[in-house]
């Protein structure tokens, strides 16, 4: 509860829900232009979602049946994978979107091409752009999408579930010291999770100290020399896939790194780890469980986490 309250999330959530439910403000893009008005109750709409997180949010708040098109990367829940594809969030296919006759298009403000957004607006579609670079923005985007489709109460429930799950992980990690962490998404080049991203926040919440924070970039390219000198105690490697117990031949060549020496090298699944949205708490648990597996071994802790995350698979030990 401490982390969530320190950042004022209950107050922020209440403000978002109350103001938008009343229809006092519109949904805005990054320039602040109001381009879609929130609804007070569920409305009949045909929605095109231009990002996986947007699609997941719509399904999570009960608006999945209103989604008529998604981006090429939208694959969760399974029903979303069967919907017509309309390009990517970076390069939406305007012709494919128009063919679906949507009444609303929802995408990401930090990745959208301004010309594409203006074109969609000119075509008469309601356009909503949301941001998700931080945990606060993820929460805000869920609330704004819920308000836009008249499902404020459902969005509120999703946000509160995220809060509850964050608190469960925080309780499990109480008193646990930080470990130095490297989280990489690719090897050629070696691209790491850096500051200013929601994943960097999750590493911190999981009692990890991100060694890539020394760089000012959000997705820095790190040299092996830097990594060896930074001496990470845990390495989370997206190249290893979803299996936390997968062996890494690549890292074995560097036994001087504490994470290699101590066998703390873990793979992680792209989904949900790299999908900001309503499953962000699941991503936190995946990361925390790999950084501090011992914190989740106690029967009482495992039972408490299991109640909060009933669909999460059991953790597997690393074998590096």
> In angstroms, rounded to a whole number, what is the distance separating the alpha carbons of residues 91 and 114?
11
Q: Identify the bridge partners of residue 47 per DSSP, sorted by sequence position.
A: 67, 104
For the entire predicted model, the pTM comes to 0.83
Q: Which two tokens stand for residue 159?
A: 């946000």
Reported as a single tens digit per residue, the pLDDT across 141-165 is: 999 999 999 999 999 999 999 999 9
Average predicted confidence (pLDDT) for the chain:
84
% of residues, the chain, pLDDT over 70? 80
pLDDT of residue 117: 76
Q: What are the start-end ranges of the E strands in 146-198? A: 179-186, 191-192
Q: What are the start-end ranges of the E strands in 40-192? A: 47-49, 67-70, 104-108, 126-130, 179-186, 191-192
Residue 24 has pLDDT above 70, yes or no: no
The set of residues, in sequence order, having a beta carbon less than 8 Å from that of 61 and lying 6+ positions away, is 142, 145, 146, 149, 151, 154, 155, 158
Residue 87 has pLDDT above 80, yes or no: yes
Alpha helices in 8-84 (DSSP H): 9-21, 52-60, 78-81
What would you report as the CA-atom Rg of the chain, rounded to the nearest whole angstrom?
Answer: 20
Report which of 108, 158, 150, 130 is spatially closest to residue 279, judged by C-alpha positions: 158
Domains along the chain with CATH numbers: 2-165 (3.40.50.1980), 177-308 (3.40.50.1980)
Reported as a single tens digit per residue, the pLDDT across 104-134 is: 999 988 765 567 777 888 888 889 999 999 9
Reported as a single tens digit per residue, the pLDDT across 248-268 is: 788 999 999 999 999 999 999
173-187, 191-205, 263-277: least confidently modelled range: 263-277
Report which of 79, 80, 77, 57 is spatially closest to residue 156, judged by C-alpha positions: 57
In contact, 286 and 243? CB cutoff 8 Å: no
């Amino acid at each position: 509860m401490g982390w969530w309250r320190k950042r004022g999330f209950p107050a922020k959530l209440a403000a978002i829900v109350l103001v938008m439910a009343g229809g006092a403000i519109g949904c805005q893009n990054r320039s602040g232009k109001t381009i879609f008005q929130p609804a007070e109750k569920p409305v009949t709409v045909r929605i095109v979602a231009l990002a996986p997180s947007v699609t997941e949010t719509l399904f999570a708040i009960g608006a999945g049946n209103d989604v008529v098109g998604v981006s090429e990367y939208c694959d969760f829940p399974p029903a979303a994978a069967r919907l017509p594809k309309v390009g990517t969030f970076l390069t939406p296919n305007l012709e494919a979107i128009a063919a679906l006759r949507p009444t609303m298009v929802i995408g990401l403000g930090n990745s959208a091409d301004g010309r594409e957004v203006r074109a969609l607006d000119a075509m008469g579609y309601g356009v909503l752009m949301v941001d998700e670079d931080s945990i606060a923005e993820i929460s805000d985007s869920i609330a704004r999408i819920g308000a836009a489709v008249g499902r404020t109460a459902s969005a509120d429930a999703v946000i509160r579930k995220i809060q509850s799950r964050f608190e469960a992980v925080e309780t499990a990690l109480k008193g646990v010291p930080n470990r130095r962490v490297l989280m990489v998404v690719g090897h050629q080049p070696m691209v790491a999770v850096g500051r200013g991203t929601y994943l960097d926040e999750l590493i911190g919440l999981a009692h990890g100290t991100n060694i890539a924070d020394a760089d000012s970039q959000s997705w820095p390219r790190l040299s092996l020399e830097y990594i060896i000198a930074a001496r990470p105690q845990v390495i989370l490697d997206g190249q290893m896939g979803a299996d936390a117990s997968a062996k890494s031949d690549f890292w074995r060549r560097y036994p001087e790194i504490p994470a290699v020496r101590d066998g703390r090298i873990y793979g992680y699944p792209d989904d949900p780890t790299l999908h900001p949205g309503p499953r962000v708490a699941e991503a936190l648990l995946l990361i925390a469980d790999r950084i501090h597996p011992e914190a989740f071994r106690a029967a009482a802790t495992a039972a408490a986490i299991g109640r909060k995350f009933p669909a999460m698979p059991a953790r597997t030990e690393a074998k590096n």
